Structure formats: C-alpha cells, structure tokens
Amino acid sequence: MPMSMETTAWTQLYGVMNAQRERRPFARATLRRIVAFARPHRRRIALFVVLGVAAALLAVATPVLAGAVVDAIVTRGDEGRVVRLALLIALIAVAEAALGILARRLSARLGEGLILDLRAAVFDHVQRMPVAFFTRTRTGALVSRLNNDVIGAQRAFSNTLSGVVSNLVTLLLTLAVMLTLSWQITLLALVLLPVFVIPARRVGHRMAHMQREAATLNAAMGTRMTERFSAPGATLVKLFGRPEEESQEFAVRARRVADIGVRTATAQSMFITALTLVSALALALVYGLGGWFALRGTLEPGAVVSLALLLTRMYAPLTALAGARVEVMSALVSFERVFEVLDLKPLIEEKPDAKKVPDGPVSVEFDNVRFGYPSADKVSLASLEEVATLDTRGGAEVLHGISFRAEPGQTVALVGSSGAGKSTIAQLLPRLYDVDEGAVRVGGVDVRDVSAESLRGTLGMVTQDGHLFHDSVRANLLLARPTATDDDLWDALRRSRLDDLVRSLPDGLDTVVGERGYRLSGGERQRMTIARLLLARQRVVILDEATAHLDNTSEAAVQEALTEALQGRTAVVIAHRLSTVRAADQILVIEAGRIVERGTHEELLVAGGRYAELYRTQFEERQSDDVTEVETAA
C-alpha cells in the first residue's frame, strides 16, 4: 500500500533507531548459514517477493490512471471512459488491499517459522551445554539471544528482504513513468531527496543513541525491581533495607527514564514535523511548476496530478532503500549473535554407539580420576557474561588420582574441608563434566560410553539447594517420571514424610509451590526432592550436602526420608555433619583433591587422623549447641 510522507518518515526513523550500528565485515560462512536456515522456507520467500513486485506495479498504476481521469474531465471526453478508469482504480485498490493482507499473512508465517527454527536450535543447543556454561552466563543475556536477536534475524526475511525488492521495483517504475511525463520535475524531485533522507539518518542515529540510553536505564530499573521483588530480596530489604531510601533510589531511576522519554518524544516530533513540511513544500513545488507547464501547453493537467502522486511513491522507496544497508547489517548482526551461541561446542558429547547401563544393582567406580574445571573460553562467551574479556583462569587440576569403588547397595561417604573437591567428585558421576584422565564407571561401564537417557534413568541426585520450579507439586514430581499416576505420587510423598503436608495445602497436588519452592520450608523442599528421587526409582543415589543448613527438627525429618530413599541403592553421600555418615560402608576423607584417609567410622576414629580431628571438633561444637539450647529453653 502507498505510504504518506509522514508514514515514510516514521518508518525510516524507526528503522534507523532500531538498527544496530555495525561496520565489521561478515564472513561468507555466515551468509551460507543464513541461506541454510532459509532453505526450508524458500517457496514462501519466493512467493513473498512476487507479491511485493505485484504490489509495486499496482502502486505505480494508480497515479497514472488518476492523471488519465483528470485529462478526460478537463477535455470533457467520453463519460464512459471516466467511469471505466474509476472502476479500474477501484479494482486496483481492492487488489492492493488483498495483496497486502496476503503478504502480511505470508510474512507472519515466514517470520514466525524462522523464529521457531532459530529458537528451537538455540534452545536444544543450550540444553547440551555443561553446567559451567550456566554458572558463568547471565540468564538475562542468554534469554535475550532467544528473544531479541532471534527476532532481529527474522526481520531480515519478513521485512528487509521483501522491502528491498518491492522498493527497488517501485522506485525504478516510478522514475521511468515520471521521466516520461516530465524529466524537469523528476530531476527537481531527485535534487530535493537529500533534504528528506539526510535528516532522517542523522536524527535517526541520535534517536538510536537516546534509545540505547533509555534501554540501559530501563534495564537498570528492571534489575532493581527484580531483585527487590523476589522473595529473598524482599526479605533482605525488610530486614536490613531502609524503605524510604529504597523509594528515593527507585524514584531517581524512574525519573531518568521519564526524562529520556520526554527528550525522545520531542526529537521525534520535531523530526517528523520538519520532514512533513519538506514533503509539503515539494508537493507545492510540483504543483506550481507542473501547473506553469500545463498553462503553457507543454504538460497535460492529468500529468501534473500523476507526478504529484508519484512523488510520494518515489520518496517512500528511496528513503527506505537509503536505510536498507543499516537494517541489513542489523539483521546480520542478529544472525551472528545467534550463531555465536550455536558455535559454542558442548563439552559433553554422546557417542553414536552409546550403551545402556546393565540391568540390576550397579556399582560405582572412580579409577585414577584427574580433573580440572574448563577455562571460560571453552564454555562461555564474553557477551553472555556481559564482560569485556573472559576470565582466563581455569584448567588447573583440582582432583588428583581419585580412586574408589562402591559395590552394589553400598554407601560411600565423602567428607572433608570446604573446597576439598567433594562436590566435584559428585558432579563427575552423572557426567555433568568429563574427566581429564582416568575413568568413572557405573555398572562397570564408562559413563562416557553410556547414553544420556540411560545414565539419567540410573543416577539420582539431591543437592543442598533443593531446587523446585514455580509450578504445582504435581508438575515438580512428574519431572522425575512423567507417566506416574496420582497413587505413585502419593506413595512417594508418604515415603518422604510429606503426604500430610501436601494434603493440607489449598489445592493438594495442584498447589503452586512458588519460585524455587519458596513457599515451602527448607526441610520441606528437601523432602520434595527426595520424593522426586523415590518416584524416579533410580539405582544410584548421590546426596550432596542434602541436610546442610537445616535445623535439628528438619534434619531429622529429612534424614528419615533419606533412609527410606537409600534402601537397596548404591549411594555416594557428601556430608558436612559427620554424624549423618557413621553408618556408611566406607568413608573417604578428601583434602586438596586427594583421598587422604579411607575406612569405616570406627576404623578412622581409631586411626586418629584427619577424620578423628573433624569428628572431635564437630562433636564439641554440637555439645556446645545442645547446652545453649537447654539454657535458652530454661
């Protein structure tokens, strides 16, 4: 559909404002990958381009027909001709409207289809990344790749591609027709073009700067709200914050956003007004000069009208094409940012001939395992961490020759100082990382040779965090076994000592537990994760500080549920409180990434080494705590 001068100005301004300024060259490999993503949509793209060309032809035909109508009226020609021309203009208008609707629908299907492909590719790829990727990456930056950058890439097909083709065709046809009508007026229109385009680009870049500033201010304000409105953040503010100062700080940030909004709106209004004035003056000049030619008999009256109408159709595509490079580069930047994530190679790769863990009870074995956490350049991007350069640290060995074996049904406990490497050992078993040397085996099979599905079905892990999704109790439990019935869920809750609590909730199994399970206590969250473990029926259980940070009552309840969960299973237990691992079949004392002692509880106490020292220290602290509790109660 033809655009008015004001609409054209807004379109140009919006495109330049939202385009990312990027001058570095793009590799041909990037373009080839874009073509590969577009190949499944090639038929729609071709049809989209054809519709754009057809719309351009119709847009140029209307002014010519309008001029013919004026000539017929002025010369008092055939009345039937005027009616036929009017009907033809009406039919063209209907055809343009139909083409516009069809093109918009096709554009939506094309754009949304591309968004779907890109998002699915990025999401699937990110899920394969190691845990280190998520610990380093800012969640907001990663989500932005799935939203803003994917949409920016989609715009290359749904907007820029069709716009360049249709605008180019419209411009060539318009210039050809205008030159045949009056080359003098056409040249005058081209001379006035810089007055229309140059301010759009300059003011657009200024507006882009203000928009980036506004986005930064909005992000800062949004981050502050997110931190303060989360349950832990709100609690912290209530305990240590000063509400008046918090309100004042928020008001300052909000006022900055408001100020930049006023400046942006003022600049937009001045720009649009100026360009609208320029376009009005250009039309006045066409009517004046064209009218003078018409009165002298060198130009038909209808041609003057046609030239005035064609002028709008010439300025619109010229203005759009002037900013097309910026929009194309912006779309390519978005594609590169998406490909940047897709090019991060996952450290954990499943072998094509991956095996299943053998049926029945399974053993766990660490065979001379050496491991160092990967450096940032292997698992992350500076843009996702929102830093200038990546941290170069990493790669240093943290586990040095770890060897032990847990027979089927046995419990092996890992104890030691904080940072000794206990949690690292636990993360290697479910293959959250791969070892650098040695091997980790489950049921006698190296975990690197086992399929991810089989490993997930064999190993279950409970961490001290007890993470739950903002969803119902039912949904959080079904994560472990989607096919479980309500009877299975209630059985798992009963065995984890949670059935009475869930029955007392407003909606029972359908009660939403809140963000990270915040509506439940720490002990209740832990028992919920244990219920999930019981539901999964996994044969190997890993407990990483499952009772840490719990009070005595909660610890007792969780410990009771854990006893139920560990029955008949092979277990690797990491514990800070040594009283919880006294019954373990084997206790390993880990210090500085090495096993310095091993044995049963009694054997290690008799040996009088590091374990005995840790146990004696904790026993004295526990006695002191018990005395304090008694005195407080008294």
Q: Is the pLDDT of residue 629 over 50?
A: no
* pTM of the full structure: 0.64
The dihedral formed by the CA atoms of 245, 249, 251 and 253, expressed in degrees to the nearest 10: 180
Give the pLDDT band (50/70/90) at residue 239. low
What b/e string do you get for 245-283 counting C-beta neighbours within 10 Å, with b at 16 or more?
Answer: eeeeeeeebeebbeebeeebeeebeebbebbeebbeebb
- 3-state secondary structure string, 501-554? HHHHCCCHHHCECCHHHCCCCHHHHHHHHHHHHHHHCCCEEEEECCCCCCCHHH
Q: Could you write out the DSSP letters of every residue in 274-325?
A: HHHHHHHHHHHHHHHHHHHHHHHTSS-HHHHHHHHHHHHHHHHHHHHHHTHH
pLDDT (0 to 100) of residue 543: 83
What angle do helix axes 324-342 and 5-18 make, rounded to 10 degrees? 30
Give the pLDDT band (50/70/90) at residue 386. low
Span 425-450, pLDDT tens digits: 988 988 888 899 999 999 889 999 99
Rounded percentage of the chain residues whose pLDDT exceeds 90:
7
Integer angstrom CA distances of residue 473 from 483, 489, 502, 550, 565:
15, 10, 8, 21, 19
592 compared with 252, residue with greater pLDDT:
592
Distance of alpha carbon 238 from alpha carbon 367, whole angstroms = 51
Residue 159: which H helix or E strand, with range?
none
φ and ψ at residue 415, rounded to 5 degrees: -130, 165
Distance of alpha carbon 490 from alpha carbon 506, whole angstroms = 16
pLDDT (0 to 100) of residue 630: 34
Q: Which residues contact 74 (CB under 8 A, 6 or more apart)?
A: 301, 302
Residues belonging to the chain: 634
Span 108-158, pLDDT tens digits: 787 777 778 888 888 888 888 877 777 777 666 677 777 777 777 766 666
Give the pLDDT band (50/70/90) at residue 209. low
Amino acid present at 140:
G
What angle do helix axes 183-229 and 5-18 make, rounded to 10 degrees? 50
Mean pLDDT for the stretch of residues 26-42: 75
Give the pLDDT band (50/70/90) at residue 3. very low
Distance of alpha carbon 318 from alpha carbon 196, whole angstroms = 10
- Edge to edge, the sheet with strand 364-372 lists 397-406, 364-372, 437-442, 445-446
Q: Is the pLDDT of residue 2 over 50?
A: no
Q: Is the pLDDT of residue 21 over 50?
A: no
Distance of alpha carbon 525 from alpha carbon 577, whole angstroms = 19
Mean pLDDT for the stretch of residues 80-101: 86
Half-sphere exposure of 180 (CA within 13 A, CB side): 8
Q: Which of 45-49, 154-158, 174-178, 450-454 has the lowest mean pLDDT?
A: 154-158
39: DSSP letter: G
Cβ-in-10-Å burial (0-12, 13-18, 19+) of 481 comes to: middle
Q: Is the pLDDT of residue 216 over 70?
A: no
pLDDT (0 to 100) of residue 114: 78
Amino acid present at 238:
K
Give the pLDDT band (50/70/90) at residue 622. low
Span 585-608, pLDDT tens digits: 899 999 999 999 999 989 988 888
pLDDT (0 to 100) of residue 324: 65
pLDDT (0 to 100) of residue 20: 45
Span 408-423, pLDDT tens digits: 988 899 988 888 888 8
Span 494-527, pLDDT tens digits: 888 888 888 888 888 888 887 666 677 777 887 8
Mean pLDDT for the stretch of residues 200-214: 64
388 compared with 631, residue with greater pLDDT:
388
Span 327-368, pLDDT tens digits: 666 677 777 778 878 888 887 888 888 889 888 888 999 999
448: DSSP letter: G
Range 364-383+392-599: architecture per CATH: 3-Layer(aba) Sandwich (3.40)
pLDDT (0 to 100) of residue 23: 45
For the chain, what is the mean pLDDT? 77
Mean pLDDT for the stretch of residues 466-470: 78
- The pair of structure tokens assigned to 12 is 């140009």
- The pair of structure tokens assigned to 598 is 């091993």
Within 10 angstroms of residue 439's Cβ, the number of other Cβ atoms is 15
Q: Is the pLDDT of residue 369 over 90?
A: yes
Q: Which residues contact 378 (CB under 8 A, 6 or more apart)?
A: 347, 394
Per domain, the residue ranges of the chain are 5-342, 364-383+392-599
Span 339-350, pLDDT tens digits: 878 888 887 888
Give the pLDDT band (50/70/90) at residue 244. confident
Q: Any idea which fold 5-342 has?
A: ABC transporter transmembrane region fold (1.20.1560)
pLDDT (0 to 100) of residue 541: 86
Asked whether the beta carbons of 463 and 546 are under 8 A apart, the reply is yes
